[in-house]
Amino acid sequence: MNNSESFYTVVEKRRSVRNFKAQSIEQEKLDRILECGLKAPSHNHMREWHYILLRDEGVRKDILENSGAINRKSDRQYLDSLLANMHDENQRQVYSYSVPIQERLLLTAPEILLVCFGMNRKLQECESLYNLNNFASAWLVIENILLAMAAEGLYGVTMVPFRTDRIKNILGMPDNIEIATFIPFGYPQKEPALTQIKKELKDVVHINKW
């Protein structure tokens, strides 16, 4: 297999997975994955990115119970409010399955990675897309990480927190560092399923105008 074939194979393999084996992840694999993240493009060339691995059960519980990172999923009204605005049946099925298990993911995933990035102003103070360049760069890091995981036979899912102020306080983070996402990840319990919602190029490519 040539290098281009290998790359496209990895892109096809990437899936969002929420059920993992109780199997530790080899440090050399983890190091390769995190190094791939650092090779992402950075708009200001400074690569103001940091990782936090949440391995302590007590810290995970503290974040879950006290930070407001996710809505407590025992509240059926929250899920119903999401589903009410969804009209694609595949999307509704994904959310009906994934939303109620987010608490379990934060407590039981073999690894949880926080991808963090530097900001020279608070997110809520950003006045234009340009001010969000650091945030955009962080998601390039995340994509590199997800593809590197797939290449290593590992899978995860992104979980963007509803609020980060209390998480940052729990973790002792500096004021100028923000959290882009949680990534619970590990070895999948079973072969990841194919993505059900697909787009055709002819439906999304526009030439010169919409």
CA nearest neighbour of 145 among 185, 117, 173: 185
The pLDDT value given to residue 72: 55
Domain boundaries, given as residue ranges, for the chain: 3-204
Taking the C-alpha atoms of residue 167 and residue 89, their distance in angstroms, rounded to an integer, is 34
Check: CB of residue 131 under 8 Å from CB of residue 176.
no
Give the CA distances from residue 145 to residues 86, 151, 153, 202, in Å, rounded to whole numbers and listed in that order: 29, 10, 12, 29
Spell out, as residue ranges, where the chain has pLDDT lower than 70. Answer: 1-5, 71-75, 194-196
Element (H, E) at 63: helix 57-66
CA nearest neighbour of 184 among 100, 136, 113, 82: 113
Dihedral sign for Cα 80, 189, 68, 122, please: negative
| Per-residue pLDDT reduced to its tens digit, 134-186 | 999 999 999 999 999 999 999 999 999 988 999 999 999 999 999 999 999 99
**How many angstroms separate the most distant Cα atoms in the chain?**
54
Q: Does domain 3-204 have CATH number 3.40.109.10?
A: yes
Give the CA distances from residue 71 to residues 62, 74, 75, 108, 126, in Å, rounded to whole numbers and listed in that order: 14, 9, 8, 18, 25
Strands, E, within the chain: which ranges? Answer: 49-53, 111-118, 155-156, 177-186
Give the tokens for residue 57: 């059960």
In this prediction the pTM is 0.86
The pLDDT value given to residue 103: 83
What single string gives the DSSP state of each residue in 110-126? SEEEEEEEE-SS-GGG-
Taking the C-alpha atoms of residue 71 and residue 106, their distance in angstroms, rounded to an integer, is 12
The pLDDT value given to residue 182: 97
